[in-house]
Every structure is written in structure tokens, then in C-alpha cells.
């Protein structure tokens, strides 16, 4: 009898193991590529889909590998981030929640001990049987426990600053900078370390916290800048920011090339021990599990230093420098003027602006080559495993201005800061048909439900009701899903500012009357301020995209648009301030407040009352004097 029970138990175990094996076999490997400060118009396929031309509106770009990727899957041309800065944007992406619902508006270090927090994408996938890895840029800013304790949110993490640059691997490493803390500009010691092909390193001083550079330090700095044709931004916060130049390393030794090398090593050493480039013992991917890997490129983030072989391809190209004049500056809200003052290009010579554009697009072309290499390695790994795959390429955690709005930066509510693109490729062509272009609004909060659904996780379960986004497979194939607008907010450079965009209008406003991060006991205090204060103090900006697609004239305070701007103020303000807004004191374990005075305001609909929208004839371009 015991023998029979044992056999039945063994048989049940075999069936259970078989079912798990079958379920995992149906789960695809997932590669999530995220670039940094990446303009979608650096991709020819995107330009052809949106304008019919291969070049950007500024000029020549090159992207053969990304174009190939787009041809294999679905290109989403109107993808918008939820915060135009690295930290809050990436936290939003990895949590699937808007910043006003995850409580991170800037560079706060968040944790998951507070009651309102939810697991990140990688943690959900780990629970679904995946091995998880992050290689390259992280900046996710999520810890399991307060004060950095607890298990990492990825099984394997290799971060480009910590595990490459700090070990003398890569090309250019920066420490320190100016920074705003509680509205006070702090001057900190700042250096740059240049890594040469022969292993030599040279460190230059950019600034001291308490004094200016002496003559010797200035001479060393100027010598290095001449050697690598360095173009810097010289504005208050961005002092020393490198907008152009050439990498000291050949293409295969730059930090982004080494990120790809580490990525491939993790795949090639599946189920084996090995050492990273810095000599750290580690283990490769678990071949018995489906793999989720986040490949985070540093490029084309500053320092913008394309390797010589790519820079040479762009050095003689001519580009149209974006127009900007005092007419549009005069219409900026006070917050927008702050962004401008920290990032303006008005002191740059025309040839310097041209260099910045050339070097930026050369850097993105280099990124295209690396992405092509990484994608092929991932496909080969999936083939060896006999597993399907999904590739999600997020074109920039946010955008980058090359002179639009008079700046070279991000941080703004404008299109160049917030608009990206997404390419999704799957071995399942029914979900993601090859060569399809989708011009519906999609948001970066869509990535979590997209990858969970692909991993066979039932996102319709109540557990996932908190997610703010949609499965992109549904967006690509389901016309019933409605999203009339996109949302975003952050608290950097100019303080709290939220934005909303529809097909016809772009609107943004100040949401809080202070810039400090949330602190006990001031959590959601006076939370309706932005809705009830004088309209001028709300720092509103409204652009009529029907006649002003480049967002060059803020019409929020013109007589014809004042009522419409006020309607948008109430619409956006009720959503980000009253529909689940979280303000959390991240220095503590569980001190937070959730504001729900307008629960349900985020209905995804724009039903502007009749009579509020001016006729297009009232807003002709000539009247803008542009």
C-alpha cells in the first residue's frame, strides 16, 4: 500500500513539474532596452512614419539596426513619459504608476516598506518564475527596505557607474556637480576622470565647493578640453555639462560598449560562474527559467562623446538649428523661465550649436550599432533555449532639446522633453504584427502591464488594479481602449509641475507652492492650493497644437484662451492632486498621506465644454509673431 501511495505521489509530482515546465515554456524571454535622453527623431523609421522623410526636422540621422527592429514589430510613435528626468521617469516605468501615485517626483530614494507601495515589475516577474537581471544604467531608485536593506529588486545587477567606470573601465567618469537642495543651490567639489586606451587616467578639476580653480587646474582642464574637442554648457546648474566632443576610447571600449559586453557575458555564461570585467565573481543567467533582462544604456546622455569613427560620419553634416526668440520667452511661465535659465543656449555660438547637434546624432548612431549587437545576442540566447521572446525598446527614458525652447536639456513639459517612441517585437506576430505603426497615445506606465501580460500573468486580477497603464498588445489591436490624454509630473529644477497633453492642446501648471520634497508633517497639506490660487500664481502654460505644434507661444493668459486654460487647470489639478496623490516622507518607514478628494477624476476623457475652444482662425501663426 505504501508503495502504491509513493507511486501516486511520484506521478502527481511528475505531472505538477510537467505543468510548471509547460507553463514556463510558454513564457517568453523578455528584453527591455532603455536608452537615456534619446530623441525619437534620431531614428529613421520613426521619421518616415511621422513625416514621410528619413531625416529628422533638423537633418541627417542614421539608425539601420533600430529600423530593422521596427520592421520586425510594432512602432508606437506617440509614447510619452510620466516625468522628464531620469529618476522619476524610471521609477514610474518600473512600478507602472504615475509619479503622483507612487510618491516619487524627483531624485528621492524610495523603498517598499510603506503600506501603499507595490512590487516593481522585476519582482512580479520573479514571482512568476523568471530570472531577472539589470545591466547598465539603473537609476530606478527602489529599495525593498528603508535605509537600503533587503533583497535587490533584480536577481543580478551590474550598474555602469558602480561596476565599470569606478573600476577604470569606460571612457569618461564624472563626480560631483551643482545641485539644488531644499531650493538652495549647493556648490560641490566636481571632477572628471578621462580613461585612455592604454589604461592611463587623467583627472581634471571642474570646481571646488569653496574656491575657484587656480591657474594650474585651469590649464589642465583646458588642455584636456582641447584634446577631445569638448563643448560645455555654461549655465548656473549645468556648469561643466558636456554637450559635445569625442570619446577618448575606441568604439569597443566606451562604457556603453562595455555594458553590451557585460550583457552578452551574462547570457553566454548561463548556469556557469564567471567574472565581470571588473573581476567580480558572479553567475550567468539561469537557463532553466525564462529571463527578464533590463538593458540600460547610458547614451546619448551627457557627456555626449561619440567615438571617433562615428563622429567622423557626422562632422561635415549640415543641420537646421531650431529657431527661438524673445517672443516665445516672453510667454514662458515663471517655472518655464527657470528651466530656460538653467539650460539656455543663447550664449552659444552658431558653430557650437551645430557641433552639439552633430555629436548628439553621432552618439545615437553609435547606440544604434550597440542595440543591434545586443538584440542579436538576445535572440540567439532565446533560440538556444527554445523559448519565445519579447523585445521592448523604450526610446529614451525622456527626451532632449537641441535648441527647441532655447535649451539643451530636458526637465520641461514640452514635447521634446516628454515625447519618445516605443518598439515592441515578439516572436508572436499576431500580438505584434511586423511593420505595424500605431499613432495612438501610449504612456510609459504601459510597460509593466505589457510585460506582465506577455509573461502569462493575469493582469485583470484584482491584485493589479493599481496599475495605471494598458497592455500595449491591446493598444495595438484594440480600438475600444480610450485614452484622450497623457499625464506627467515632477519636482526638479523648477519645482512641482504637472502636464497633460491631448491631440490639440498641451497644458502644464504648478501643482505645489513649494519645491521641497515631502516631509513629515507637511504631506498633502493645502493640497488644493493650485486649484484655488490666483490663476497667475498657478504658472499655467497652454499651447494650441492645431496652429502651434512646436509649442512656441503660451496662450494660457490671452483673453481668448483664459477660460480654456482654467478648464484644463481644474481637469489636470483634480487628477494629480485629488485622485490618489501620494506624498511620502521617504526618510521614514511609513509616513505618508493619500489625497482622494477627486477620486475618479482620471477618466481618460477630454470632454471640453462647448464654447471654450477658440476657432482656429483666431490663432493664426502670424498673430503669434513667429
Domains plus CATH for the chain?
15-477 (3.40.720.10), 495-624 (no CATH)
Under a CB-based contact definition with an 8 Å cutoff, are residues 497 and 509 in contact? yes
Q: How far is CA 540 from the centre of its chain?
A: 24
Mean pLDDT, residues 45-62 taken together: 98
Give me 267's grid cell.
Answer: 547570457
Per-residue confidence (pLDDT) for residue 178, from 0 to 100:
53
pLDDT at 17 over 50: no
Q: What is the mean pLDDT of the chain?
A: 92
pLDDT in tens, 493-540: 999 999 999 999 999 999 999 888 999 999 999 999 999 999 999 999
SS3 208: coil
Q: Rounded to whole angstroms, how far apart are CA atoms 465 and 234?
A: 46
DSSP secondary structure string for all residues of 59-124: S----HHHHHHHHHSEEEEEEE-SSSSHHHHHHHHHHTS-HHHHT--SS--EES-STT----HHHH
pLDDT in tens, 550-593: 999 999 999 999 999 999 999 999 999 999 999 999 999 999 99
Top pLDDT among 181 and 214 is at 214
pLDDT at 620 over 80: no
pLDDT at 78 over 80: yes
Q: Which residues contact 133 (CB under 8 A, 6 or more apart)?
A: 154, 155, 156, 157, 158, 266, 285, 291, 292, 293, 294
SS3 142: strand
Q: Rounded to whole angstroms, how far apart are CA atoms 545 and 506?
A: 7
Q: What are the DSSP E strand ranges found in 190-260?
A: 190-195, 201-207, 231-233, 241-244
455-to-270, 288, 451, 474 alpha-carbon distances in Å = 20, 15, 6, 15
Mean pLDDT, residues 448-456 taken together: 98
Per-residue confidence (pLDDT) for residue 499, from 0 to 100:
98
pLDDT at 181 over 60: no
Exposure string for 68-100, b = 16+ CB within 10 A, e = fewer: ebbebbbbbbbbbbbbbbbbbbbbbbbbbbbbb
Mean pLDDT, residues 364-383 taken together: 98
pLDDT at 326 over 90: no
Q: How far is CA 229 from the centre of its chain?
A: 28
pLDDT at 431 over 70: yes
Per-residue confidence (pLDDT) for residue 234, from 0 to 100:
77
pLDDT in tens, 286-305: 999 999 999 999 999 999 99
Q: Which of 189-193, 334-338, 539-543 has the lowest mean pLDDT?
A: 189-193
pLDDT at 407 over 60: yes
pLDDT in tens, 235-289: 655 457 899 999 999 999 999 999 999 999 999 999 999 999 999 999 999 999 9
Q: How confident is the model at residue 220 (pLDDT cuts 50, 70, 90)?
A: very high
pLDDT at 440 over 60: yes
Q: Rounded to whole angstroms, how far apart are CA atoms 79 and 86?
A: 16
pLDDT at 438 over 50: yes
Per-residue confidence (pLDDT) for residue 618, from 0 to 100:
53
pLDDT in tens, 351-367: 999 999 999 999 999 99
Mean pLDDT, residues 371-379 taken together: 98
SS3 105: coil
pLDDT at 184 over 60: no
Per-residue confidence (pLDDT) for residue 147, from 0 to 100:
86
Backbone angles phi, psi at 496, to 5 degrees: -60, 125
pLDDT in tens, 81-126: 999 999 999 999 999 999 999 999 998 999 999 999 999 999 999 9
Q: Rounded to whole angstroms, how far apart are CA atoms 258 and 160?
A: 9
For the chain, the maximum distance between any two Cα atoms, rounded to a whole number of angstroms, is 94
pLDDT at 392 over 70: yes
pLDDT at 63 over 80: yes
Bridge partner list, 136: 159, 296
In the numeric block, the cell 510609459 is attached to 444
Per-residue confidence (pLDDT) for residue 16, from 0 to 100:
34
Give percent of the chain above pLDDT 90.
84
Q: Rounded to whole angstroms, how far apart are CA atoms 388 and 390?
A: 7
Amino acid at each position: 500500500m505504501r508503495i502504491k501511495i509513493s507511486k501516486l505521489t511520484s506521478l502527481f509530482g511528475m505531472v505538477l513539474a510537467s505543468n510548471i515546465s509547460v507553463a514556463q515554456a510558454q513564457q517568453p524571454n523578455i528584453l527591455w532596452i532603455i536608452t537615456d535622453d534619446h530623441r525619437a527623431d534620431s531614428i529613421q523609421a520613426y521619421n518616415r512614419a511621422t513625416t514621410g522623410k528619413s531625416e529628422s526636422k533638423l537633418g541627417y540621422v542614421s539608425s539601420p539596426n533600430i529600423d530593422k527592429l521596427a520592421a520586425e514589430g510594432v512602432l508606437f510613435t506617440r509614447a510619452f513619459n510620466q516625468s522628464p528626468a531620469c529618476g522619476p521617469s524610471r521609477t514610474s516605468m518600473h512600478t507602472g504608476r504615475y509619479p503622483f501615485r507612487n510618491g516619487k517626483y524627483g531624485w528621492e530614494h524610495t523603498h517598499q516598506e510603506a503600506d501603499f507601495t507595490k512590487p516593481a515589475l522585476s519582482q512580479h516577474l520573479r514571482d512568476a518564475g523568471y530570472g531577472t537581471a539589470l545591466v547598465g544604467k539603473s537609476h530606478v531608485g527602489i529599495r525593498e527596505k528603508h535605509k537600503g536593506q533587503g533583497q535587490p529588486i533584480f536577481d543580478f545587477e551590474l550598474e555602469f557607474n558602480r561596476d565599470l567606470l569606478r573600476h577604470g573601465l569606460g571612457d569618461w567618469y564624472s563626480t560631483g556637480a551643482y545641485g539644488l537642495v531644499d531650493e538652495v543651490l549647493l556648490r560641490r567639489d566636481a571632477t572628471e576622470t578621462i580613461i585612455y586606451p592604454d589604461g592611463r587616467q587623467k583627472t581634471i578639476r571642474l570646481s571646488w565647493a569653496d574656491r575657484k580653480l587656480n591657474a594650474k587646474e585651469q590649464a589642465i582642464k583646458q588642455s584636456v578640453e582641447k584634446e577631445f574637442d569638448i563643448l560645455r554648457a555654461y549655465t548656473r546648474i549645468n556648469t561643466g555639462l558636456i554637450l559635445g566632443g569625442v570619446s577618448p576610447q575606441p568604439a569597443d571600449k566606451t562604457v556603453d560598449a562595455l555594458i553590451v559586453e557585460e550583457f552578452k557575458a551574462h547570457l553566454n555564461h548561463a548556469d556557469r560562474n564567471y567574472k565581470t570585467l571588473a573581476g567580480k565573481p558572479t553567475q550567468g543567467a539561469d537557463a532553466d527559467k525564462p529571463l527578464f533582462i533590463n538593458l540600460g544604456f547610458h547614451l546619448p546622455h551627457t557627456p555626449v562623446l561619440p567615438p571617433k569613427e562615428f563622429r567622423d560620419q557626422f562632422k561635415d553634416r549640415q543641420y537646421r538649428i531650431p529657431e527661438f526668440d524673445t517672443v516665445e520667452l516672453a510667454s514662458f511661465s515663471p517655472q518655464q523661465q527657470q528651466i530656460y535659465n538653467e539650460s539656455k543656449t543663447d550664449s552659444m555660438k552658431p558653430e557650437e550649436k551645430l557641433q552639439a547637434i552633430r555629436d548628439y546624432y553621432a552618439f545615437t548612431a553609435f547606440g544604434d550599432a550597440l542595440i543591434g549587437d545586443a538584440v542579436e545576442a538576445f535572440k540567439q540566447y532565446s533560440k538556444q533555449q527554445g523559448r519565445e521572446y519579447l523585445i521592448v525598446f523604450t526610446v529614451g527614458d525622456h527626451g532632449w532639446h537641441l535648441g527647441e525652447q532655447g535649451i539643451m536639456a530636458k526637465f520641461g513639459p514640452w514635447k521634446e522633453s516628454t515625447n519618445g517612441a516605443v518598439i515592441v517585437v515578439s516572436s508572436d506576430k499576431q500580438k505584434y504584427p511586423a511593420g505595424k505603426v500605431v499613432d495612438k497615445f501610449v504612456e510609459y506606465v504601459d510597460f509593466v502591464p505589457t510585460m506582465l501580460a506577455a509573461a502569462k500573468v493575469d493582469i485583470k486580477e484584482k491584485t493589479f488594479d493599481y496599475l495605471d497603464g494598458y497592455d500595449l498588445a491591446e493598444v495595438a489591436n484594440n480600438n475600444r481602449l480610450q485614452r484622450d490624454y497623457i499625464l506627467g509630473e515632477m519636482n526638479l529644477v523648477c519645482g512641482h509641475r504637472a502636464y497633460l497633453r491631448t491631440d490639440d492642446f498641451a497644458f502644464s501648471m504648478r501643482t505645489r507652492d513649494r519645491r521641497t520634497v515631502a516631509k513629515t508633517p507637511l504631506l498633502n497639506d493645502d493640497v488644493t492650493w493650485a486649484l484655488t490660487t490666483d490663476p497667475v500664481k498657478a504658472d499655467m502654460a497652454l499651447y494650441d497644437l492645431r496652429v502651434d505644434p512646436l509649442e512656441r507661444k503660451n496662450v494660457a493668459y490671452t483673453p481668448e484662451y483664459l477660460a480654456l486654460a482654467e478648464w484644463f487647470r481644474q481637469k489636470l489639478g483634480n487628477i494629480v492632486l485629488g485622485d490618489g496623490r501620494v506624498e511620502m516622507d521617504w526618510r521614514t518607514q511609513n509616513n505618508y498621506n493619500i489625497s482622494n478628494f477627486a477620486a475618479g477624476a482620471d477618466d481618460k476623457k477630454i470632454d471640453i465644454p462647448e464654447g471654450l475652444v477658440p476657432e482656429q482662425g483666431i490663432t493664426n501663426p502670424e498673430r503669434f509673431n513667429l
